[in-house]
């Protein structure tokens, strides 16, 4: 196998790993589903864009080699872990509060919809405050290339496209009229499940040893 073929194979493996990670159910995807059903397509797409931006930030940091220094600086990782865990617990609280709310119709009230800027910020924070994302991107970068700038650029561009496809797909799918009607009928159960997922993720993140 030639060097170019070997590098291409590794790049494809990195793409596959990133696709599996983004497509698998997790806090980000569940949040996109909830926002899409409760606040509509634009809000969900902006949240998804925030998640992708956070992911690509860590991708850029990893390809520049800065992530290795950040991992070695344990206090930085611990800070990110604590902030991320508390942020997930805050999201769990918000979901639990929505689950306990009496009226489902108010969830779809346009006047109560969050601004697109705030939704984008929430999506970005969800990924920027996850120390696992740093570790994952270090592994993906190590797997995907021979360290050349062109390989790194291809990695970031390809993963960005995958992220847009996956997260954008979730946003479009769950913002349809049928999905939003289902959300109104099952709002309490879905928000309750989301509260549990966020809560468990936050506790696990706070308990994570780095």
Q: How far apart are CA 46 and CA 118, in angstroms?
A: 9
Q: How far apart are CA 12 and CA 143, in angstroms?
A: 10
C-alpha distances (whole Å) from 41 to each of 5, 25, 154, 163 are 40, 19, 29, 17
Residue pair 159/12 in contact (Cβ under 8 Å)? The answer is no
* Tens-level pLDDT at each residue, the chain (210 residues): 454 554 677 788 888 888 888 888 788 888 898 899 888 999 999 999 999 999 999 888 878 776 566 656 667 677 777 888 888 888 889 888 877 875 544 444 444 668 889 999 999 998 888 777 777 787 777 766 555 556 778 888 999 999 999 999 999 999 998 888 888 788 788 888 888 888 888 888 788 775
The domain locations on the chain are 3-207
114: left (phi over 0), alpha (psi -120 to 50) or beta: beta
How do residues 120-144 score in pLDDT, each as one tens digit?
999 999 888 877 777 778 777 776 6
DSSP string for 3-14: HHHHHHHHHHHH
Residue pair 63/141 in contact (Cβ under 8 Å)? The answer is yes
Does the predicted TM-score (pTM) go above 0.85?
no
């Amino acid at each position: 196998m030639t060097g170019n073929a070997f590098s291409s194979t590794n790049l494809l493996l990195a793409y596959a790993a990133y696709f599996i990670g983004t497509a698998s159910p997790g806090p980000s995807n569940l949040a996109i589903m909830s926002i899409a059903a409760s606040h509509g397509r634009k809000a969900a797409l902006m949240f998804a864009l925030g998640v992708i931006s956070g992911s690509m930030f860590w991708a850029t940091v990893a390809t520049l080699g800065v992530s290795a220094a950040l991992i070695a600086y344990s206090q930085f990782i611990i800070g990110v872990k604590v902030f991320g865990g508390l942020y997930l617990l805050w999201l769990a609280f918000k979901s639990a509060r929505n689950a306990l709310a009496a009226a489902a119709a108010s969830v779809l009230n346009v006047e109560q919809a969050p601004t697109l800027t705030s939704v984008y910020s929430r999506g970005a924070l969800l990924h920027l405050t996850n120390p696992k994302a740093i570790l994952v991107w270090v592994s993906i970068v190590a797997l995907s290339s021979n360290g050349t700038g062109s390989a790194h650029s291809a990695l970031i561009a390809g993963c960005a496209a995958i992220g847009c496809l996956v997260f954008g797909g979730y946003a479009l799918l769950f913002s349809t009229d049928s999905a939003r009607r289902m959300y109104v009928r099952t709002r309490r159960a879905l928000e309750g499940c989301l509260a549990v997922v966020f809560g468990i993720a936050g506790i696990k993140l706070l308990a994570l040893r780095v």
